[in-house]
Amino acid sequence: MKKLLVVVAAAGFAWAAHAQSYPSRPITIVVPFAAGGPTDKSARDLAEALRKPLGGATVLVDNAAGAGGSIGANKVAKAAADGYTLLFHHIGMATMPTLVRNIPFKVESDFEYLGMVSDVPMTLIGRPTMPAKTYKELLTWIGQNKGKMNLGNAGVGSASHLCGLLFQNALQVDMTTVPYKGTAPAMTDLMGGQIDLLCDQTTNTSSQIEGKKVIGYAVTTSKPLTTPALRDLPTLQDMGLKGFDVTVWQGLYAPKGTPTDVQAKINAALKLALKDADFVKKQEGLGAVVVTDKRVEPAEHKLFVQAEIAKWSPVIKAAGVYAD
């Protein structure tokens, strides 16, 4: 029995020593999307902001794209639970359980939730030649063109795809969806009049609306936005779509079993990073709003994701779409 107690005590001491010395080598943040996109940019900004509160540690970003974000997420779920491999993921954490066939991990039980980072609002926009210039006019146009409308998106499982699904579901109208390989080609075709509508992040739409290259109809947030290009747009909720609230939120995760002391260190560093003036400014430049509410706490972060899973699952199932 004494021998067993010694072994347990030694293991506990080693575990505590590990947590106390963390981090002692570079940390990698896995982004499950291609480099250069909004999520990747936010992750790289966060990596920079985390270095100081983590004692000057090197924080790297590794892009592991594919399958609706599940390839990168699985890489982290299967990584050593030591705090040196983290996941930076967006709203896809809530949609993968329904959207991805045979997902090799469980979102709710295979990760430690470390805290939310930011929210990116979305906008409903139309081609510049659209006869409808306001949202109310758009509703009339939709009613007159059932079966003739098309709605672009940045690919199956993308934020624009999800927003489009929810919009159709809210209106109880079917549109021809046109998936693209990213927002850039979808936006190009929208500006060129090849597609009618697109719902995408303010990161990608604000300058186009401001330049009158597309028509801005509404924002997807529960409250109006204050940025110059978007402050005159109504919310879809105010336009009658009760409960319509879509933001591309982003959060930080670790493999299940990561020591609680290490989790606490990362969460504390995250809270400091979210108050970093340079980080906040960079996020504002991307059209993102840094989280300052209770979702920065791990438990609240998880509760929020669980609520989002419940929100998106029936929408995705009703649409019958999958990201293989």
DSSP 84: S
Question: How many residues are recorded in the chain?
Answer: 324
pLDDT of 266 strictly over 60: yes
The per-residue pLDDT of the chain, averaged, comes to: 90
| pTM for the structure as a whole | 0.81
Burial 126-147 (b: 16+ CB within 10 A, else e): bbeebebeebeebbebbeeeee
Phi, psi at 156, each rounded to 5°: -60, 125
Rounded Cα distance between 110 and 294, Å, is 22
State the greatest distance between any 2 C-alpha atoms of the chain, in Å, as a whole number: 83
- % of residues, the chain, pLDDT over 90: 65
pLDDT of residue 18: 55
In this prediction, residue 8 has a pLDDT band, given cuts at 50, 70 and 90, of very low
Q: Which of 31, 55, 58, 53 has the alpha carbon at shortest distance from 43?
A: 31
Q: Which residue has the tokens 């030649």?
A: 129
State the DSSP code for 57.
-
Q: With cut-offs at 50, 70 and 90, classify the pLDDT of residue 253.
A: very high
Quick one: average pLDDT of 40-62? 96
CA of residue 96 relative to chain centroid, distance: 12
CA atoms within 13 A on the CB side of 110: 17
- CA pseudo-torsion sign 294, 298, 299, 304: positive
Instruction: List 63's β-bridge partners, or say none.
Output: 31
State yes or no: pLDDT of 163 exceeds 70. Answer: yes
CB 298 within 8 A of CB 251: no
Q: Above 80 in pLDDT, residue 267? A: yes
